[in-house]
């Protein structure tokens, strides 16, 4: 392969419209490129002058590598020229900062589930509650999505299984808090017992629960509003990835969360097929004489056809397979132009 001419693309020519949704969430199985898509979307959005926060909830963070700069565990501006902010939610840090659950213990209820009706599991919460780190991460995500400093929030979610639990958490918290509220009304004395478990006095506990309940309800409305939220499923053109993406969409539909876009990443096709970026700046697969490329292309074509059929009626975007790793502004702008 010939050497890639890294100066051939003028990044100023690749500023694109990031859309109008206030919240853009990228989901899918691990390793399909969710971080790349989130980083590219965040950069494009900020380049339009929109105050944009990119949030990574994936425990295996790679946002720092993609942006080629250190991403903190608290929202911080990472560019001087554009209003781009970023944060990688660290589970341990999130637990320490968790206000409602107190940040301690292995159970996010702080042992309070034993005090609920049927504390032996008959209350229906056993097996439903997320881990303390996931609950704490949701609290921070709620806070960031509710932050008036940012006009748009782009979320790089964890792999599919964790994402589904994260998206189901509003219903779980809603159920849990409803039970706590009922007990709070019935047994005022119990609130004193919550002091050691959840931190603060009884009135603070009640206020914190009320605030979290309000945030949960706002998040529920936002995620279900296609005018405000664009949930984008990222996949690669392989049979297993298509299957997992179908499963994710089904789960999202059960939560009444619409999927606005499907992104098929690493497609072995010329860049010119999906964007106006100068194609001669990149090495493309040789489908004419490379047998390996031809076989992979055949596999991808079958997967693409299945994806097009499954996601008919959904906006499907394709991002080509690049010879080099997608890192830094130049490559991210090219990906953004494909989106």
| % of the chain at pLDDT higher than 70 | 62
Rounded to 5°, angle at Cα 34 from 135 and 263: 125
Cα 152 to Cα 72, 114, 123, 179, 294, distances in angstroms: 19, 40, 38, 34, 41
Q: Residue 203: in which H helix or E strand, if any?
A: helix 202-223
Cα 94 to Cα 2, 57, 257, 316, 337, distances in angstroms: 46, 11, 26, 35, 34
Q: Who's near 205: CB < 8 A, 6+ residues apart? A: 191, 194, 195, 198, 199
d(CA 235, CA 247): 12
| % of the chain at pLDDT higher than 90 | 28
What is the tens place of the pLDDT at every residue in 99-133? 444 444 444 444 444 444 444 444 444 444 455 66
The pLDDT value recorded for residue 61 is 72
What is the tens place of the pLDDT at every residue in 132-168? 666 666 777 778 888 889 999 999 987 666 566 666 6
> What is the pLDDT confidence band of residue 94, given thresholds at 50, 70 and 90?
low
* pLDDT score of 176 more than 60: yes
Burial class (CB in 10 A: 0-12, 13-18, 19+), 189: exposed
* DSSP code for 321: P
Number of other residues whose CB lies within 10 A of the CB of residue 305: 12
Q: Which domains does the chain have, with CATH numbers?
A: 11-338 (3.40.50.300)
Least confident of 86-90, 194-198, 223-227, 325-329: 194-198
Q: What is the mean pLDDT of residues 258-279?
A: 83
The pLDDT value recorded for residue 285 is 83
* Mean per-residue pLDDT over the chain, rounded: 75
Helix (H, G, I), strand (E, B) or coil at 287: coil
The pLDDT value recorded for residue 132 is 60
pTM of the predicted model over 0.95: no
The pLDDT value recorded for residue 144 is 85
């Amino acid at each position: 392969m010939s050497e890639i001419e890294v100066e051939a693309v003028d990044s100023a020519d690749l500023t694109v419209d990031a859309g109008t949704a206030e919240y853009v969430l990228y989901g899918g199985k691990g390793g399909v490129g969710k971080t790349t898509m989130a980083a590219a979307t965040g950069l494009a959005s900020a380049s339009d002058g929109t105050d944009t926060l990119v949030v990574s909830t994936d425990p295996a963070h790679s946002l720092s590598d993609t942006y080629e700069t250190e991403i903190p565990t608290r929202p911080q501006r990472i560019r001087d020229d554009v209003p781009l902010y970023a944060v990688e939610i660290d589970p341990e840090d999130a637990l320490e900062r968790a206000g409602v659950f107190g940040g301690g213990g292995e159970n996010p209820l702080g042992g309070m589930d034993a005090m609920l009706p049927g504390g032996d599991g008959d209350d229906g919460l056993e097996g439903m509650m997320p881990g303390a780190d996931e609950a704490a991460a949701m609290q921070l995500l709620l806070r960031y999505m509710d932050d008036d400093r940012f006009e748009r929030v782009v979320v790089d979610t964890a792999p599919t299984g964790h994402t589904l639990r994260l998206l189901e958490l509003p219903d779980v918290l809603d159920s849990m808090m409803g039970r706590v509220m009922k007990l709070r009304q019935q047994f005022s004395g119990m609130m004193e017992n919550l002091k050691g478990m959840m931190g603060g006095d009884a009135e603070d506990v009640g206020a914190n629960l009320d605030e979290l309940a309000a945030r949960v309800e706002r998040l529920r409305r936002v995620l279900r509003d296609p005018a405000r939220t664009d949930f984008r499923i990222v996949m690669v053109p392989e049979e297993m990835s298509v299957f997992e993406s179908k499963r994710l969409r089904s789960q999202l539909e059960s939560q009444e969360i619409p999927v606005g876009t499907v992104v098929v990443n690493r497609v072995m096709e010329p860049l010119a097929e999906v964007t106006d970026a100068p194609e001669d700046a990149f090495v493309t697969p040789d489908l004419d004489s490379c047998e390996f490329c031809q076989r992979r292309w055949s596999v991808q074509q079958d997967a693409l056809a299945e994806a097009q059929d499954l996601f008919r009626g959904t906006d499907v975007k394709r991002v080509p397979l690049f010879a080099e790793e997608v890192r830094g502004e130049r490559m991210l702008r090219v990906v953004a132009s494909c989106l």
